[in-house]
Each structure stands twice: as structure tokens, then as C-alpha cells.
Structure 1
Amino acid sequence: MRFVDKTVVVTGGSSGMGLAVASAFLLEGANVAICGRSQEKLDRAAETLNADKRILTAAVDVSQVSDLDRFYRQVSDRFDHIDVVFANAGIGVLTGLGEVDEATFDKIVGINFKGVFFTVQQALPYLTNGGAIVLNASLTQHQGLSDLTVYAATKAAVSQLARSFATSLMSRCIRVNAISPGVIETDMIEGMGDEKLQTLSREIPMGRLGRSEEIAKVVLFLASEEASYITGEDLLVDGGRIRLSLWQGA
């Protein structure tokens, strides 16, 4: 097992990609601390993960630095140190340019950009030298989607943070990378309807949506010694949707 005696933090860990990543790290021997906005969802996640002594949950709003400070103190008290951070918490709101109000704008930016920045910054006193950080961006940063203007912009910012953080933390041998998932089967897309999901599947060269477990494998790779010479990268995990946009089968 690759992460025995390691401590991993997963924000947005109560469902979807975050929960799959937390589960995968536990199977590889890690202690895992997950946070999310809903304590009820966190409690259900803890039951699903079924690893009492190696799991810590906390209700946290990542857009609030005081919440993150409290969370990391809890992690330190329980597990002493942190080896890996997966900054996964994020929200997407389908709103066109003319319909975005200030409150919605601030909420998306607060969680997706400010939240990622301070998730990493506040972890630094507890993060071991030689550790790893993975940020969750999105393929939408490469597209011009009229109803995801703010969301896509925040994800482009996250990709840039990976490069800036990688440079800033090079002296501590902490690697920082991002992933840009495509359309993944999570709670976020459940309301789209079968017809829309089928259309999306046809737009993907591999002909299907991605699975959270596939994202987890990529995150664990980037966090492991197998990726020891990779930093500042943003890895597309999208079934070829962006790089193969001229795919003849589309």
C-alpha cells in the first residue's frame, strides 16, 4: 500500500469525486480527513467509508479562512501532520452572463478560487516537506460555455494556482498539480436529464461519461512517488473531449 502512515486531506469529501478519492486513499492505508458544508452528508460519508480510527470529518466552509484554520488544527490534533491535500471543494451554477447576480458571483468565486487558495495556504504549517497537493480544476476552462462563465473562470484560476504554488513550494519539495475532469457521473449532473447526458456522451470520443473512481486513480497517482518528477501540471481527465475535439467519430 502506497500511503500507509500518511495523512490526506480532502475538501468536498462527502460525495462524488471527493468521496471516491477519500475511499481510495483509505484503501491504500492512509489516514483521511474530509470536510464539507453538510454535517449530515459527512456523517453518511463516514459510514460509507467505514474506517473509524483513520477518518476525521468536519463541517467546513472553505471560503471562510477561520473554518479552515479550525479544521487543520483538528487534523493536526488527531493525526499530527499532513502529507497530501486534495483541494476538491467547488460549486457550479448554470447562469448566463446577464443573469449572474453579485451574491452568486461571490459564492462561486469564494468557494472555487478563494477556497482553493486558502485551503493550500492554511495547510502549509502542517504539510510535510516532500508532500503533494492536487487541485481540482475543470475542462470547462478550455471551453467557451455561456452558462458557466464564472465557474469556468474560477477553474482557469485554479489551474494557474497549481503552477504558482508549484514554484512557491519547490524549496520544500512539495509537488503541486491540478486535474481537469470532464463530465463525471456525480450528484452535480443528476438533474441534467437522460437526453442531455446522452448528448454529452456522444460529444466524448470515448463515448461515455467518466467515473469518480477513475478520477481517484489519477489523484492517487499524482500524490504518489510514482509521480515524483511531475509538478505544475494540469492533467485533463476527460475521455479525450478537449484534445480530440476534431475526432472524426463525433
Structure 2
Amino acid sequence: MSTELKGKRVLVTGGTRGIGRAIVLAFAAAGATVHTCGRTDGEAAAALRSELAEFGGEHTVHAADVADPARCRALVKATTAVLGGIDVLVNNAGVVSHRTLDELDGDEWSRVIDTNLRGTFEVTKAALPSMGEGGAIVNISSAVASVGMVARTHYTASKAAIYGFTRSLCKEAGPRGIRANVVAPGIIETDQAIGLTGEVRKRYEALAALGRLGTPEDVADVVLFLSGNAARFVSGQTIVVDGGI
């Protein structure tokens, strides 16, 4: 096992389920100390705490809704109070819904934008003063941001904005030795994929050059790469993890 992430202080938002959970566990397995959050302190959070305890260390699972700016700042404050700083920030928390534009109202638009985009802004702004030379920020977007999807104008807009946010962020943070990149997952085996019918699943699998859906671990491995020294001269980039759709 690589030791380059051992001892790193990591904050991952939205880490109790799906891709976020895989990212948290991958960092813990690599020897990092991870603080993460879920929207509520429910069964998923409790299960993650149990798994993290097996790695030892001072990993923490908070309850924080990143759509609330005050909760974002409180999350970062609690993390830095324990860790003394942040070496890696992964902005993964997000929500999605399926509504065509004529069904979409302002409240739902704001809910998705506030969580997916403003949450990323608020956590990053709060965390940057605690990051230093060699720091890494990885923002999780979506492959759909570059192609679009019916009934996802709000979600696609939020995820496409992450590209622009990160391109400018890398130029602001770069002089301090902090890198910022995007990972854009394709169709991944998460809770959302469970509801796919057999026919739809086969169609999605056929779209990928590798002939399968991705796993959360496929995405987590790319996040760890971008967080480590092997990616020391990679910044402002988007890596699409979709199996070659």
C-alpha cells in the first residue's frame, strides 16, 4: 500500500453514502485521518463510524447540510479544531432530482443549486485558510454536465458550474501551492442505480467502452490519485470516470 497519504488530514463532504463513502474509506485505508459529514446523523452515518473504527485513528462523522452556509462553516471549524489544518478537501455532497423544466419550480432549483454549488463554495472558502503548500482540493461534478440530460436542467447547471469554479479556483490557490481539480463520474453503482430496470441497465452498460457500470471505488481511486504527490503538477483539470461512454 502506498504511504504518501499516510497522516494527511482530509475533509470529505457527503461521505456517508455511495461515492462519498468509498472516498472516505479509501483515505482511511491509505492512513489518512478523515472527517466527513452526512446531511443527517442516521443509520448510514452510524455504519460508517463503525467501519472507520476498524482503521483506528481519529476519524469523525458529522451531521451537516451543506446547503446551509452556517453549517458549512461550522463543519470546517470543527474539523480544523481537531486536525489543526486540512491537507485535502473533497467536495462531494450533492443532491439530484428528476424534473422537466415545466415541472421545476424555484424552490427545487434553489435546493439543488444551494447544495451542489453554493455548498462547494462555502466549504472551500472556509477551508482555504487552513490549507497550505501541497494541499489538494477535489470537487466532484458529473459527466452529465458536459452532455445534458432530460429533466436535469437544475442538476446539470450546478455540476457544470463546478467546472468553471474549479478552473478559477486553481488560479487563485495555485500561488499558495494548492491544487484544485474535478472528478466527473459517469453512471456509477450507487443507490440511484439500484432502481434501474434490467433493460435500462443493459443499455447503460453498452454505452460504456468497458461494458459495465462504474463502482464507487473506481471514482475513489481517481480522487486519491489527485490528492497525492503523483498528481503534484495537475491542477485545473477534469477527469471523467465513465468507462469510455
Shorter-chain TM band? over 0.9
Instruction: Describe the SS at the equivalent of 2:134.
Output: strand
CA offset digits 1:136-176 (Å, max 9, x no partner): 01110111312111111111100111101000101111000
CA offset digits 1:50-71 (Å, max 9, x no partner): 2453311111111211111111
Instruction: Describe the SS at the equivalent of 2:67.
Output: coil
Q: Percent identity?
A: 33
What letter is aligned with 1:42?
A: A
2-structure distance, mates of 1:3, 1:9 = 13
Give the TM-score taking structure 1 as reference length. Answer: 0.93
Instruction: Describe the SS at the equivalent of 1:99.
Output: coil
Query: Is residue 12 of structure 1 aligned with residue 14 of structure 2?
Result: yes
Per the alignment, residue 151 of structure 1 pairs with 155
Contact residue 73 and residue 123 of structure 2 kept, 8 A: no
1-structure distance, mates of 2:58, 2:207 = 40
2-structure distance, mates of 1:193, 1:47 = 32
Greater mean alpha carbon deviation, residues 209-218 or residues 70-79: 70-79
Per the alignment, residue 247 of structure 1 pairs with none
Contact residue 30 and residue 54 of structure 1 kept, 8 A: no
- Once the 2 structures are TM-superposed, how far is the Cα of residue 72 of structure 1 from its aligned partner? 1.4
1-structure distance, mates of 2:69, 2:130 = 15
Query: Is residue 238 of structure 1 aligned with residue 242 of structure 2?
Result: yes
What letter is aligned with 2:210?
A: M
User: How many pairs align?
Assistant: 241
Greater mean alpha carbon deviation, residues 127-136 or residues 45-54: 45-54
Runs of 4+ residues deviating >4 angstroms: none
Matches within 5 A, 1:7-156: 7-40=9-42, 41-50=44-53, 51=55, 53-156=57-160
Please report the RMSD computed on the Cα atoms of aligned residues, expressed in angstroms: 1.2
Unpaired segments ≥5 residues, structure 1: 242-250
2-structure distance, mates of 1:118, 1:219 = 20
Give the TM-score taking structure 2 as reference length. Answer: 0.95
Instruction: Describe the SS at the equivalent of 2:57.
Output: helix
Per the alignment, residue 232 of structure 2 pairs with 228
Instruction: Describe the SS at the equivalent of 1:124.
Output: helix
2-structure distance, mates of 1:130, 1:52 = 25
2-structure distance, mates of 1:106, 1:165 = 23
Instruction: Describe the SS at the equivalent of 1:32.
Output: strand
Unpaired segments ≥5 residues, structure 2: none
Instruction: Describe the SS at the equivalent of 2:158.
Output: helix
Contact residue 9 and residue 33 of structure 2 kept, 8 A: yes
Per the alignment, residue 244 of structure 1 pairs with none
CA offset digits 1:170-219 (Å, max 9, x no partner): 11110000011100101122222332222211111211000111111100
1-structure distance, mates of 2:219, 2:58 = 22
2-structure distance, mates of 1:17, 1:144 = 21
